[in-house]
Structure formats: structure tokens, C-alpha cells
Amino acid sequence: MFYKSIYFPLVILSSITFIFLLISATIRPYGFFIDEVYFIACAKRLAWGYVDQPPLSLFLLAPVVKLFGYNLMAIRVLPALAMAATVFMTGLLAKRLGGGLVSMLLSGLAVVFLPIFLVFTSFYSMNAYEPLIVVSVIFFMVNMVQEEDPRYWLHVGILSGLGLMMKHTFVLYGFALVLGMLISGKRKLLFNKWLLWGGLACFLIVLPNLIWQVVNDFPSLELYRNSFSSKNIEKAYFEVVLEQVLFVNPAGFPLWMTGLIALMLRRGKPYRFMLFAYLFLIILMVAGRSSRPDRIVSIYIFLLAYGAVSIEQFLRRPWLCVTQGALAVLLLAGAVVMSPIFCPLMPPARLKHHIARLGLKLEIEEGKRGEPIPQWLADRIGWEEMAAAVSEVFHNLPEAERQNCIIVTDNYGPAGAMEIYAEKFDLPPVFATHNSFHSWGPPSDSVKTYIGVDIDAEGARRLFESMETATTFYCPDCTRPQREVLIYVMRNPVVSVEKMWPEFKEYH
């Protein structure tokens, strides 16, 4: 019977993970995340590409929105399932590496409370699927090495194609793994027809998005260039390394460091390609002084699994039981301390106090430095209240103006939020100049009244006959850009907005 299987405890751990993430979706005042409301807007306008992402995650989101509307828990089901599957695949990987049940559960537990994964999978985004695809790719590569069977490249190629259709930056993992195989001397597994077949499968899966990029003059390249130059914070080399430890959970450090060291030993030689893959990624992060530890975090799944298996293989009872028990307690203690910082569990007032006691400084984006609570939580607050404030401005307009009015913004967050709450608050159509929202414009020149939300007021003032501040929306726990948002009423454009729309484009 299945409940007697070695996999049953792993299924239980995966199920608990799924339930935990869904419960976190109900914690108030947290709601939709800033990127999440934008992704929902994208999912309503399916295409083979978007300015800032490939389309696959949005193809998966679209039927959910169609069936369940803007139900927060329904939208969070797929990320929670992806995380549960990641935990299960981590256990399978540990077993494939030679581990027993305890190693499977220990590595799975480490992944459950890996802080960045809690961020990734507690709201809807393409990032929620990346750990699952990466661990699946690594699982098949481990199979390939153990069986010396290059046919697994076909599996790897298909999964890599799916990964690239989720995130363009998935290419870093593919390059790192192939480079690791090359440096570690596994040329027999590299130079054969199956690598070409895998590469072809990957290419065919990605081809629709490549065609879209060509047809649209590669907008994603422009966005990535702008993001690297203006969005991300440049960190000192030591900070980059330190944040890897922090965002992968300090409590998990002994486990993945054990895996890293074990790869350097004689017994780790078959899997040493993973050591070189990791070193390539971490050197890339340090050299780029990146403030985004999440860019390479999925590689730690292997290190955690291999660390748990290495401890099991190197130690003997009673030290083995003591060490495994201590690591499990350490991981759970780390979860108690770290989880509320990365997942919506504590209300803002308590969370501020918790972070202050730990003395942590969590900054990954320019423009959102020194926030009282981390950006990934603060940007889940206030969207419904902002929509209500805009609705009040709209309904205070004369009837004739309401019939010929739109909302305009420079930010995809307010734009997505206004669309989500449009029916509830009876809001007019929304247009934005930010990323893919820009491609869904322009508004018609017949529109004479605009409600401006989070816009460049100085630039907008030159485009209208009159512009007045209608109200100010305050959100003390939001990030700085949304903490104090002026809402304007702008009347009678003095230019053709339709003709000037290409000049308003903001890709970042």
C-alpha cells in the first residue's frame, strides 16, 4: 500500500507545504502583489511574448482567471502546487543520489523554508515554476551521469525550453550546467547526437517567443538593459556572498555547504559538474555585484540534497541520528525566525518589530531602499484602497465627464490594480505607459478627461489645458513609490495623445 511506501512521508511534507502557502494567501492586510496584478492583466491579453517575460506562465494563469475571476486563493493555487512539487522532486533527487528517507525529508524540509522560494511561491509569477523546472533538469542530468546515457538530453532540452518560456534568465542555468559538464570532463555525454536533439527540442519550444521578439524589435533586451542600469542595487562583493547565505536561509547553510564540500571530495567526482556550475553562477553574481540573490537560488536545491545524502553516507550511528536531528531542529528554528520576513504571516506592525530585532537590512531594488518592511511584502498592501480612492475621484466628476474619461498611470501596479477592482468600484478604462501596458494603448484622442494615478506630474502638466490634484492616497506600510500617491484630474489634451504615445514608453 502507498502509505507504507518510502514516498508517502514525502507526499505528506509536500501537501503540508501546499496548505501552508494557501493559508498565507488569506493573511490580511496583504493582498495581490504589485507584479501579480500586472501578470493578471497580461493573462487577459494572451500573446507569444511580452516586454518583460515569455508567455508560458501567463498561458497557465489565463484559464484560472477565466474560471475563478480575481479570487486571490485560486490564483495562488498553481504557485503553491509548483512549490509542493519542488519539495517532492527534491526528495526524489536525494533518493537518486543514494539517500534514504531521512535525507529525502531533510532536504525537502530545507527547500520548504528556503526564504526566496517562500517569496517566489506565495504569489503568482513565472518565478514560482523556476525551482521545479531546475530541480527536474538536475534530476535527469544526475540520471544521465549515473547511467552514462546521453538520451536524457532530450528530457533536459524539453524542460529547458519550458524554463526559457517561463523566464529568459533560465538560460544562465542551462549554460552553467553544460559548462560544468565540459569542465568536469564528461565530454562523452556532451558530444553526441542526443545533445543536438535536446537543443533542437528546446529551440522549437522557444521559437514562438523568438519570432515575437524579432517582430517587435526585441523589446525584452531594452527592458533588461534598463533594469541592469537603473533598477538593481550595486552591492559590494562581500555583500553579494553574504546575501546568498541570508536568502537561502542561514539555518540551511551547514547542509548546502556540506554538499559543496562533498563535491570536492573523491566520492563527489561523478557530480562535480554541479560544483563547476555553481561556481560559474556565484562568480557571475559577484562580478556583477548583483542585488538579486534570487537569480541563482534554484541551484542550491542540489547542494541541499547532496549535503543531506553526504551526511548520511559519511556518518555512522549514533552520530548520524544526532546530526540529522540537530539539522532538522535548526531548519525548523530558522523557519520560525525567517519565514515571516519572506512570506505574509505577520501583520506589518509586528513584522517591523521582528525585523528591527534581527537587525536585518533587506534591499534589492533602487527606489525602495530603507523600507520598514521588505518590498516583497509591502507591495501587497493598499491596492484595493487605492482603487477606492480613484473611484471616489471618478464619481465626483460631472456626468458628462464620466462618460468620456479614462485612468492613466506610469506604473503597471496601479494599472493592474485598477483593472482588478474596476467592476467593484465602477472604474473607467485603464491605460499605462509601463512595459506591456504601453503596447495595449494608446487611448483615443476623443477622450477629454484623464484621471492620473502615480504619474510624472511635471511632464503631464504640459499636455493638458488644466490639471488639478483631486486627492492624495496614503498607505503608510506601502513601499515608497506607493506610500503617498497624488491623484490628478487632467482635462482637454493640447496634443494628440495617440500620436505621442510611442514617446511615453517606459520599459523597466
List of residues 6+ apart from 60 with CB closer than 8 A: 78
For residue 180, being part of any structural domain is answered with: yes
> What per-residue confidence (pLDDT) applies to 364?
56
For residue 335, being part of any structural domain is answered with: yes
Phi-psi region of 381 (alpha: psi -120 to 50; beta: other; left: phi over 0): beta
Is there a single domain that holds both residue 314 and residue 398? no
DSSP 8-state assignment for residue 233? P
For residue 211, being part of any structural domain is answered with: yes
For residue 185, being part of any structural domain is answered with: yes
For residue 220, being part of any structural domain is answered with: yes
C-alpha cell at 84: 509542493
Is there a single domain that holds both residue 13 and residue 144? yes
Q: Rounded to an integer, what distance in angstroms lies between the CA atom of residue 186 and that of residue 414?
A: 51
> What per-residue confidence (pLDDT) applies to 409?
95
All residue ranges of the chain with pLDDT < 50 are none
Distances (CA, A) of 328 to 98, 115, 268, 308, 476: 19, 16, 24, 11, 38
For residue 364, being part of any structural domain is answered with: no
DSSP bridge partners of 487:
453, 471
Other C-beta atoms closer than 10 Å to the C-beta of 424 total: 12
Note the pTM of the prediction, 2 decimals.
0.93
Distances (CA, A) of 33 to 44, 45, 194, 412: 17, 19, 41, 11
354-386 tens-digit pLDDT? 888 887 766 555 555 566 788 899 999 999 999
Is there a single domain that holds both residue 275 and residue 330? yes
Is there a single domain that holds both residue 446 and residue 317? no
Q: Rounded to an integer, what distance in angstroms lies between the CA atom of residue 21 and that of residue 36?
A: 16
Is there a single domain that holds both residue 300 and residue 345? yes
Is there a single domain that holds both residue 236 and residue 327? yes
Residue that terminates a domain, selected from 358, 391, 416: 358
> What per-residue confidence (pLDDT) applies to 290?
67
Coil, helix or strand at residue 47 = coil
Is there a single domain that holds both residue 27 and residue 131? yes
Count of domains forming the chain: 2
> What per-residue confidence (pLDDT) applies to 232?
56
> What per-residue confidence (pLDDT) applies to 214?
95
Is there a single domain that holds both residue 416 and residue 495? yes
Q: Rounded to an integer, what distance in angstroms lies between the CA atom of residue 283 and that of residue 183?
A: 15
Distances (CA, A) of 293 to 84, 116, 267, 428, 429: 22, 8, 29, 39, 37
Is there a single domain that holds both residue 117 and residue 251? yes
Is there a single domain that holds both residue 338 and residue 389? no
- Is the Cβ–Cβ distance between 162 and 133 less than 8 Å? yes
Q: Rounded to an integer, what distance in angstroms lies between the CA atom of residue 90 and that of residue 139?
A: 9
Phi-psi region of 397 (alpha: psi -120 to 50; beta: other; left: phi over 0): beta
> What per-residue confidence (pLDDT) applies to 444?
92
> What per-residue confidence (pLDDT) applies to 316?
81
Is there a single domain that holds both residue 463 and residue 321? no
H/E element, 353? helix 348-358
The values of phi and psi at residue 488, to 5°, are -110, 155
Of the candidates 333, 281, 338, 305, which has an alpha carbon nearest to the alpha carbon of residue 116?
A: 338
Please provide the distance, in angstroms rounded to a whole number, between the alpha carbons at the two ends of the chain: 53
For residue 54, being part of any structural domain is answered with: yes
What amino acid occupies position 297? Answer: V
Q: Rounded to an integer, what distance in angstroms lies between the CA atom of residue 90 and that of residue 157?
A: 20
Coil, helix or strand at residue 493 = strand
Is there a single domain that holds both residue 311 and residue 207? yes
For residue 369, being part of any structural domain is answered with: no
* Domain assignment of residue 174, given as a range: 2-358
